[in-house]
A and B are shown apart, each in its own frame.
Chain A
Amino acid sequence: KAGVTQTPRYLIKTRGQQVTLSCSPISGHRSVSWYQQTPGQGLQFLFEYFSETQRNKGNFPGRFSGRQFSNSRSEMNVSTLELGDSALYLCASSLVPGTYGYTFGSGTRLTVV
């Protein structure tokens, strides 16, 4: 059974650009969440999606957006990149919200220069 797949694994972007990160959940999982991990702020919740609907959103500026497709795959987008957006972005999936817990992917390491 394949795990949570995040692509790309590494990404380097320039300030001002935009970026799209992809997450494919475990087959059958319908809930997808995103987290940002930085040395200073730690792990912070970005969004949560279930059946293509955003159920919850963290305290991030509007430059951070996401969506979920009918096959449960999810993308997150960051526009007008800032140096402070450099982070590990982790995706996690679960069967339905409120069940046993997440399975995480290995993340996308985004570096903004």
Chain B
Amino acid sequence: QLQLQESGPGLVKPSETLSLTCTVSGGSISISTYYWGWIRQPPGKGLEWIGSIFYRGTTYYNSSLESRATVSVDTSKNQFSLRLRSVTAADTSVYYCMRQVREDGGNGNDYYYMDVWGKGTTVTVSS
């Protein structure tokens, strides 16, 4: 059974860089069907997609975070990572890594959904 596990510091200082890693177990990250990515959830609020990566390195990001976010992949370790630069208190959230399905449904339609999630890790931005 595929499992995803986030790891990284739980406390980051303002203006510094948040770095998280997601380790994939029970399956390979190098499968053409899937993207791998990050979603966050501020306390008491909804879900916000940050960005996703294909195992060959193709990335795409939420335009609101693109200038600060970098998602990378290490297929030799079956891991992918998130770096978010210049953080502020507004970046305090639970961060989830996930597996994303992108399927062409034909006729200009497609399917984008997240079928496997990590348990999440809380990151607080504070001095």
Partners in one complex: no
